[in-house]
C-alpha cells in the first residue's frame, strides 16, 4: 500500500495510490501554521509522457476535473533564497503559499503546475481559477542598504524574482500586517540607532557602516533539500525535535545556581566574610559560625532549584514521549516526538498535537488524519523562534531587599569607621577596622535569603493546595510576591477571555426581532412553512419539498408574511456558508473509532460540523435547532433536511469566499426541485450597507447589537434567471483567464452582481465568554489593575469581546485608532487621540507598529492613561514588545496571561506569566510561571495569594533584618563599654543558634499571618491597590525597624550592665536570655491572625533555649581565658535573675506595643477598618 520508491501526486502530494479526489480536503481542525516559503518539487521529465496535467486546489472545495497524475518525487526543496533553476533538466512544480483569513493558520495550495518556461508558467497560472483563500505573497526583494523587504508584483516572471527569507519572516502568527501592499520596515535594534544618532553617525565612514550592517544582520535561512521519507539522506544536520523548557543542564546547574545567588549583594558579602576567616589575623570565633549558615542557604536554594528543574524535566519528557505514526518503506512505525527528523512522513491523528513545522501532503475527513512532511524541527520551528529563552525572573521584593542590604552595608562600614575613630587609630587600625566589619556583619543577616526562599516555597504550596482554585500549578517558585504588586494585566482573547465557542443570540427582520427566549416562534414558523409529504409522494420524490400552500392559507395574512420572511432568512443562513457536516460512528469492531460513509440516514447523534470559522458553525447549528438541518455537502451540492424529514437538494454553482478586504462571502445555488437560482450573501454591516436595498433600520439595529457585544452579520439574497446567471458565468470565467489584473477583473465582475440585493435579516452571534469573566474583570479594575487585551483577531471581533466582557464599560467611549502607514498620519491620529478623555483605545497591529517606530514614548504615555486598551492583529513578537515597553516606560509590574503558543513570548517577557490549559494545548501553561485552569481563578490568585505573599514576605524580611540589627547594636554597646575593643559578645553556637533554632521557627511562622480573611480580600479588591505603592516594604518602614532595633538593642545591653552590675561576669547569659525573650515577644506582637503552628513555634523555640542551657554553659562567660568566669547553674534559677530579665524584656517591648496601639486607634490601616 505504501510504494517505497514512487509517491503519487494527484490533487496534492499524497501517500496512497488510490483515493477519491473530491473527498480529499483539509479539515479546518487539521490546519497548522506553515512557514512563508516557496516549495519546489523536482520531477523527472518522463512522468509527463502520456498524461494531461490538471489542476486542483487542496483547500478550495471548487469542483474541478482532476486527473490521477503519477509523479516520482526526487526531492523537495525549500527555495527560500535561491531562485528556481531555469536551466535544470527537471521541471518545477510551483506551490504558492496561501492563508486562511478566518482560521488563523496557513497551508499550502497543492496546484500541480509542470512548466518549462516563463511563457508556459504564465499560461498555466492564468488557467487556474482563483482559490477561496487569501493569497499571500511569497516573493520578496531585499534592499540591503535600506534593510527593507518589498513585496514584488506577482505578475512578473517567477525567474526574475530574487527570493530571500530571514527569521523576520517567521514572526507572523495571527497578524496580516506584513502582507499589506507596502514596504515592510524591519525591526531595528534601537540601542544602535541611538548610539549612531547626531554627529557621530555623520562621521561614520563606509567601513564602519559595513561593520554595523554585518553586526545587525539577521540569520538567513539556507535553502535545504528534504528527502521525503528518507531523513538519513539529508546532507545537513538539523536540531532534535525536543521540547526543552529547562534553565540548566547537568553541567551548568551548579555554576548557574551559584551565579544567580552570588549576583545578589547579600550572598556575595557573606561569601567574602566567610572566606576572611581563613586569615588568622581576621579570624573571630569558629569557621562553622560563618560557613554553616552560608552553606545552609546555598543548599536550600539548590534543592529548590533542583526541584523546579526536575518538574520542568518531567513535563518536557511527557511531551517529548508522545507517540506518532511515521510512514516508512516497512509501513507505519511508532516514533517519539523527540525522535522526529526533517523529512519524516508523519501521520497526525485527530485532536493530536502537531509535533513540528510540517507541510501537509494529504488529509481525509473520513479518518480525521493528516499526512505531512517535516520541514523544521526543534529550535528551528516557528513556535520556538517566536519565543525567547526562559529567563530567571527576579521579584521586585528581592530587588528592594537587595537595595536595603546595600544600605545596611554602608551603615556597617560607617559604624566600623566610627568605632576605629573613637579608638584613636592606634596600632594596626586597618586590622581593627576589618575585625569590626566582621563583628557587625550580622547587620546584614545571612538568614534573610533562606527565610525568604523557604517562604516562597510555602506560598507555592498554599496556592496549589487551595481548593477554590483547583488545578493551579506553581512552576516558578521565586516570584509569588509579584502576584501582589501587579499594575498591568495583558491578556489574550481567544481561549482566555472567551471559550472560542459561538452562540446564536439574535435574529432581526426589520419589524420583528427574535432573541434566545423567542426561538420557539421561529421553530414554529419553519415547521408551518414546510408541509409533511405523504408517504406516496415521499417515495416518488424524497429529495424535494416546497412550502405548503395549504399550510399558509390556514394562517392569517400577517402570520403568513412573517412566516415567509422567517423562512427565507433561515434558508439563507442554512445555505450561505462553507460548513461541512461530518458523520462519525461511536466505535468500530475492534473498539476503534470508525467514520461512516455519508448515507441517507443522516443520524443526528454522530454529526459534527467543520468550518474555517466558529461563526459559521454557530449559524448552522442554530438553523438545525430551529428545524432546517444541513445533512450533507460536497464540492457540487448540499442537502438540507426540513422538520418533516424531507431532503432539499441544492446545486452549488459558485462560491465567493470571505476575505478581510471584502468582509463578505457569497454563494450561488440552484434548487434541484424548482430550478430556481439564488445568489445569497452575508457579511459585515459596513460592507453590506451599500449592497442591499434602501432600509431604515439596519444601521440602528447594528449599533444596538454592537453595544451588547454581539458579532453582527447582514444576510441578503438576489434571485437570478437562467440568462442572468449564464451571462455572469461567461464574464466571470473570462476574468479568471485574464493574464493581467486578474484579481481586479474578477472582483469587478462579482461586484456587478452585488447590486440591489434584498435584505433578509441581521444576525447577532456572541462569542461565549469564560465562566465569571465579567465579575473577574470588574474585580481587577477595582483593584487598580489596568487591563490590556492583545489579540490576533480582527478589529471588529476584538471590540465586540471588549464590550461583552465589560472590559470596556457601557458608559465608556471607545476610540478606534484609524489605520496609519507613515509618520504624518500617526502624528495626526495621536493628536486626535490626545484630545479624548477617559476612553478605551482600540488599535490594530500595523498602526501600532508605525506609532511605536516614530512616537514610542508619546504613544505609551497616552495609552497608559486609558482605562482599557485593545490591540488587535498582534503578532507574538508584538505582544512581547508591548510588555517590554510597559516595563521600560512605567517601571510597574506587568502580568501576561494566555493559553496558546502565540502567547508564550508575552508570558515569558512579563514580570509574572500565567498560562491557562485550554484547547490550544499546554505550551503556554508549561512556559508560564503559574498555571490555572480558568480565567476566573486569577482573581483569587491575585487578591488573596498575591496579597498575602507580598505582605508576609515584607514582614518576614524586615523582621529578619531587625533581628540582625538588634544583636549588632548590642555588640556596638558592648565594644564601647570595653573601650572600643574588637571582642565578640557572643560566639560559637550562640550565634548559630540565635539565627536558627532559637528564633527561626517563630519568625518563619509569619508566613502564616494574614491581616484580613480571604473572603474580605475578594469582597474589597480596593485593598490590593495599596500594595502597588510598596508601603509594606519601603525606606520609611525600614527606617522605623532600624529605630526599633537600636532602641531594643540599647535597652537590652544597658539593662544587663546596669541591673546586674554586681553580677557583671554573667552579662552574656543575662543579655542573651533577654534577647531571646524579646524576639519571641516581638513576633507575638507582630502577628495579626494566630495559627496553631505559630503557638507551637513559639513554645518550641523557648523550650529549645531552656534545654540548651544544660550543655552550653561554657558559652555564657565573658571569656574562659581572660576572666575565667563560668555560668553558675544555680544563678539562672534565682528569683532575682528572673524578675530582672523580665523587667528588661518588658521595657524593650512595652513602649512599642503602646505606640502600635495608639497608631491603630487614631490612624488605623485600611484593612483594619474592614475587620473592626
Which residues have C-beta within 8 Å of that of residue 685, sequence separation ≥ 6? 698, 699, 702, 712, 714, 762
- Residue pair 379/385 in contact (Cβ under 8 Å)? The answer is yes
d(CA 398, CA 401): 5
Asked if 631 contacts 605 with a C-beta cutoff of 8 angstroms, the reply is: no
Provide the grid cell at 895: 502580568
For 835, other C-beta atoms within 10 Å of its C-beta total: 7
Note the helical H segments in 181-340: 190-195, 198-203, 206-216, 253-262, 265-276, 288-320
Distance CA 1074, CA 1070 (A): 6
Active site residue 492: yes
Q: What is the DSSP string of 431-468?
A: HHHHHHHHHTGGGS-THHHHHHHHHHHHHHHHHHT-TT
Grid coordinates 452562540 are at which residue? Answer: 503
Cell 512552576, residue located: 475
State the number of CA atoms in the 13 A half-sphere of 1136 facing the CB: 9
Shortest CA distance to 37 belongs to which of 359, 354, 347, 346? 359
Q: Could you identify the residue written with the cell 474555517?
A: 612
Is residue 516 classed exposed, middle or buried when 0-12, 13-18 and 19+ CB atoms within 10 A define those classes? exposed
Cα Rg for the chain, rounded, in angstroms? 37
Q: Are 398 and 480 in contact (CB under 8 A)?
A: no
Beta carbons within 10 angstroms of residue 798's beta carbon: 25
Annotated binding site: 492-494, 616, 658, 682, 711, 791-793, 873, 879, 899, 902-903
CA distance 530 to 528: 6
Neighbours of 614 (CB within 10 A): 22
Output the CA–CA distances (angstroms, integers) from residue 365 to 24, 583, 888, 895, in the order listed: 7, 9, 49, 41
Percentage helix, strand, coil for the chain under 3-state DSSP, each rounded to 5: 45, 15, 35
For residues 1060 and 287, what is the distance between their CA atoms, to the nearest angstrom? 32
Query: Any residues with CB less than 8 A from the CB of 305 and at least 6 apart, and which?
Result: 248, 253, 257
To the nearest 10°, the Cα dihedral for 145, 146, 152, 153?
-110
CB contact at 8 A, 238 and 255: no
Contacts of 668 (CB under 8 A, 6+ apart): 652, 653, 654, 655, 677, 678, 679, 680, 720, 725
Q: CB neighbours of 589 closer than 8 A, spacing ≥ 6?
A: none
Binding-site residues for Mg(2+), in ranges, read: 492, 494, 899, 903
Task: Say how far apart CA 552 and CA 536 lie, in whole Å.
Answer: 22
CB 481 within 8 A of CB 464: no
Task: Report the run of H or E that residue 764 belongs to, with start and end.
Answer: strand 758-769
Bridge partners, 194 (sequence order): none
Residue with cell 574562659: 1120
Residues 487 and 781: their CA atoms lie apart, in Å, by 10
Please tell me the distance from the alpha carbon of residue 380 to that of residue 218, in angstroms, as a whole number.
14
Active-site hit among 357, 398, 492, 911: 492
Distance CA 894, CA 887 (A): 7
Active site residues: 492
Amino acid at each position: 500500500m505504501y510504494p517505497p520508491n514512487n509517491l503519487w501526486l494527484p490533487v496534492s502530494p499524497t501517500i496512497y495510490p488510490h483515493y477519491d479526489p473530491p473527498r480529499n480536503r483539509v479539515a479546518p481542525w487539521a490546519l497548522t501554521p506553515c512557514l512563508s516559503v516557496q516549495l519546489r518539487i523536482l520531477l523527472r521529465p518522463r512522468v509527463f509522457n502520456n498524461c494531461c496535467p490538471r489542476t486542483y486546489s487542496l483547500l478550495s472545495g471548487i469542483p474541478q476535473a482532476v486527473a490521477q497524475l503519477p509523479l516520482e518525487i526526487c526531492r523537495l526543496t525549500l527555495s527560500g533564497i535561491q531562485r528556481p533553476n531555469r536551466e535544470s533538466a527537471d521541471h518545477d512544480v510551483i506551490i504558492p503559499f496561501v492563508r486562511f483569513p478566518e482560521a488563523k493558520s496557513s497551508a499550502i495550495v497543492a496546484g500541480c503546475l509542470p512548466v518549462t518556461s516563463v511563457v508556459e508558467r504564465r499560461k498555466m497560472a492564468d488557467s487556474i481559477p482563483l482559490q477561496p483563500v487569501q493569497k499571500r505573497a511569497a516573493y520578496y526583494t531585499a534592499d540591503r542598504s535600506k534593510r527593507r523587504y518589498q513585496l514584488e508584483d506577482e505578475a512578473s516572471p517567477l525567474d526574475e524574482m530574487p527570493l530571500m527569507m530571514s527569521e523576520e519572516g517567521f514572526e507572523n502568527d495571527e497578524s496580516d500586517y506584513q502582507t499589506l501592499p507596502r514596504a515592510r520596515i524591519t525591526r531595528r535594534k534601537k540601542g544602535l540607532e541611538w548610539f549612531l544618532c547626531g554627529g557621530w553617525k555623520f562621521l561614520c565612514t563606509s567601513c564602519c557602516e559595513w561593520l554595523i550592517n554585518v553586526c545587525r544582520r539577521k540569520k538567513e535561512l539556507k535553502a535545504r533539500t528534504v528527502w521525503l521519507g528518507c531523513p538519513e539522506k539529508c546532507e545537513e544536520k538539523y536540531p532534535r525535535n525536543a521540547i526543552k523548557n529547562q534553565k540548566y543542564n547537568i553541567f551548568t546547574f551548579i555554576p548557574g545556581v551559584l551565579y544567580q545567588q552570588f549576583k545578589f549583594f547579600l550572598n556575595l558579602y557573606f561569601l567574602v566574610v566567610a572566606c576572611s576567616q581563613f586569615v588568622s589575623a581576621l579570624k573571630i570565633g569558629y569557621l562553622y559560625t560563618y560557613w554553616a549558615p552560608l552553606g545552609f542557604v546555598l543548599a536550600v536554594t539548590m534543592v529548590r532549584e533542583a526541584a523546579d528543574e526536575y518538574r520542568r524535566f518531567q513535563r518536557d519528557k511527557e511531551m517529548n514521549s508522545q507517540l506518532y505514526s511515521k510512514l516508512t518503506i516497512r509501513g507505519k512505525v511508532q516514533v517519539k516526538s523527540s525522535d522526529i527528523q526533517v523529512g519524516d512522513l508523519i501521520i497526525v491523528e485527530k485532536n493530536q498535537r502537531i509535533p513540528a513545522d510540517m507541510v501537509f501532503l494529504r488529509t481525509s475527513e473520513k479518518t480525521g488524519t493528516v499526512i505531512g512532511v517535516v520541514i523544521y524541527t526543534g529550535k528551528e520551528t516557528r513556535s520556538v523562534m517566536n519565543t525567547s529563552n526562559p529567563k530567571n525572573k527576579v521579584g521586585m521584593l528581592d530587588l528592594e531587599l537587595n537595595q536595603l542590604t546595600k544600605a545596611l552595608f554602608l551603615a556597617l562600614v560607617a559604624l566600623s569607621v566610627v568605632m576605629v575613630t573613637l579608638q584613636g587609630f592606634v596600632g594596626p587600625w586597618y586590622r581593627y577596622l576589618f575585625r569590626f566589619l566582621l563583628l557587625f556583619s550580622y547587620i546584614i543577616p545571612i538568614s534573610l535569603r533562606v527565610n525568604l526562599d523557604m517562604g516562597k516555597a510555602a506560598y507555592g504550596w498554599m496556592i496549589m493546595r487551595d481548593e477554590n482554585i483547583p488545578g493551579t500549578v506553581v512552576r516558578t517558585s521565586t516570584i509569588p510576591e509579584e502576584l501582589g504588586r501587579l499594575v498591568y494585566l495583558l491578556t489574550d482573547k481567544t481561549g482566555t477571555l472567551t471559550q472560542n465557542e459561538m452562540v446564536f443570540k439574535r435574529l432581526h427582520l426589520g419589524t420583528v426581532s427574535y432573541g434566545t427566549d423567542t426561538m420557539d416562534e421561529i421553530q414554529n414558523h419553519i415547521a408551518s412553512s414546510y408541509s409533511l409529504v405523504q408517504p406516496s409522494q415521499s417515495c416518488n420524490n424524497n429529495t424535494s419539498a416546497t412550502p405548503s400552500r395549504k399550510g399558509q392559507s390556514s394562517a392569517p395574512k400577517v402570520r403568513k408574511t412573517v412566516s415567509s420572511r422567517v423562512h427565507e432568512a433561515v434558508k439563507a443562513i442554512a445555505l450561505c456558508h462553507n460548513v461541512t457536516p461530518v458523520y462519525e460512528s461511536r466505535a468500530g469492531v475492534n473498539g476503534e473509532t470508525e467514520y461512516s460513509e455519508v448515507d441517507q440516514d443522516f443520524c443526528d447523534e454522530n454529526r459534527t460540523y467543520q468550518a474555517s470559522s466558529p461563526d459559521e458553525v454557530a449559524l448552522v447549528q442554530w438553523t438545525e435547532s430551529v428545524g432546517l438541518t444541513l445533512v450533507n455537502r460536497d464540492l457540487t451540492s448540499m442537502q438540507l433536511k426540513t422538520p418533516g424529514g424531507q431532503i432539499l437538494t441544492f446545486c452549488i454553482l459558485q462560491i465567493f469566499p470571505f476575505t478581510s478586504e471584502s468582509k463578505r462571502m457569497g454563494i450561488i445555488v440552484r434548487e434541484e426541485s424548482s430550478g430556481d437560482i439564488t445568489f445569497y450573501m452575508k457579511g459585515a454591516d459596513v460592507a453590506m450597507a451599500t449592497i442591499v436595498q434602501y432600509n431604515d433600520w439596519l444601521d440602528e439595529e447594528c449599533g444596538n447589537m454592537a453595544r451588547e457585544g454581539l458579532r453582527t452579520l447582514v444576510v441578503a439574497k438576489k434571485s437570478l434567471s437562467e440568462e442572468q446567471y449564464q451571462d455572469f458565468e461567461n464574464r466571470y470565467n473570462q476574468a479568471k483567464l485574464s493574464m493581467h489584473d486578474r484579481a481586479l477583473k474578477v472582483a469587478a465582475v462579482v461586484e456587478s452582481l452585488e447590486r440591489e440585493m434584498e435584505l433578509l435579516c441581521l444576525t447577532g452571534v456572541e462569542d461565549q465568554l469564560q465562566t465569571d469573566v465579567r465579575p473577574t474583570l470588574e474585580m481587577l479594575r477595582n483593584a487598580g489593575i489596568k487591563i490590556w487585551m492583545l489579540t490576533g483577531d480582527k478589529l471588529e471581533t476584538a471590540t465586540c469581546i471588549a464590550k461583552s466582557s465589560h472590559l470596556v464599560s457601557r458608559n465608556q467611549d471607545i476610540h478606534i485608532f484609524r489605520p496609519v502607514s507613515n509618520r504624518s498620519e500617526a502624528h495626526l491620529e495621536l493628536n486626535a487621540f490626545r484630545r479624548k478623555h477617559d476612553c478605551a483605545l482600540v488599535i490594530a497591529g500595523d498602526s501600532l507598529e508605525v506609532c511605536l517606530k516614530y512616537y514610542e514614548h508619546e504613544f505609551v504615555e497616552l495609552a497608559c492613561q486609558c482605562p482599557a486598551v485593545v490591540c488587535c492583529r498582534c503578532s507574538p513578537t508584538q505582544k512581547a514588545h508591548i510588555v517590554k515597553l510597559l516595563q521600560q516606560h512605567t517601571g510597574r509590574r506587568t502580568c501576561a496571561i494566555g493559553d496558546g503558543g502565540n502567547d508564550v513570548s508575552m508570558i515569558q517577557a512579563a514580570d509574572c506569566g500565567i498560562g491557562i490549559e485550554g484547547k490550544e494545548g499546554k505550551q503556554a501553561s508549561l512556559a508560564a510561571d503559574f498555571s490555572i485552569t480558568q480565567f476566573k481563578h486569577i482573581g483569587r490568585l491575585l487578591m488573596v495569594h498575591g496579597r498575602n505573599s507580598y505582605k508576609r514576605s515584607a514582614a518576614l524580611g524586615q523582621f529578619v533584618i531587625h533581628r540582625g540589627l538588634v544583636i549588632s547594636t548590642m555588640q556596638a554597646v558592648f565594644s564601647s563599654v570595653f573601650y572600643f575593643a574588637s571582642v565578640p559578645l557572643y560566639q560559637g553556637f550562640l550565634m548559630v543558634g540565635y539565627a536558627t533554632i532559637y528564633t527561626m521557627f517563630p519568625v518563619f511562622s509569619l508566613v502564616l499571618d494574614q491581616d484580613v480573611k480571604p473572603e474580605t480580600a475578594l469582597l474589597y479588591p480596593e485593598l490590593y491597590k495599596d500594595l502597588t505603592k510598596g508601603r509594606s516594604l519601603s525606606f520609611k518602614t525600614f527606617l522605623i525597624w532600624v529605630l526599633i532595633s537600636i532602641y531594643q538593642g540599647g535597652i537590652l545591653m544597658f539593662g544587663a550592665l546596669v541591673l546586674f552590675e554586681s553580677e557583671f561576669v554573667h552579662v552574656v547569659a543575662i543579655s542573651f536570655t533577654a534577647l531571646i525573650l524579646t524576639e519571641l515577644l516581638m513576633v507575638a506582637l507582630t502577628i495579626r491572625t494566630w495559627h496553631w503552628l505559630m503557638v507551637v513555634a513559639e513554645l518550641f523555640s523557648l523550650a529549645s533555649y531552656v534545654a540548651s542551657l544544660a550543655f552550653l554553659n561554657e558559652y555564657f562567660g565573658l571569656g574562659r581565658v581572660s576572666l575565667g568566669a563560668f555560668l553558675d547553674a544555680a544563678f539562672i534559677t534565682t528569683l532575682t535573675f528572673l524578675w530582672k530579665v523580665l523587667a528588661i524584656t518588658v521595657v524593650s517591648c512595652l513602649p512599642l506595643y503602646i505606640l502600635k496601639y495608639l497608631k491603630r486607634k487614631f490612624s488605623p490601616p485600611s484593612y483594619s477598618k474592614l475587620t473592626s
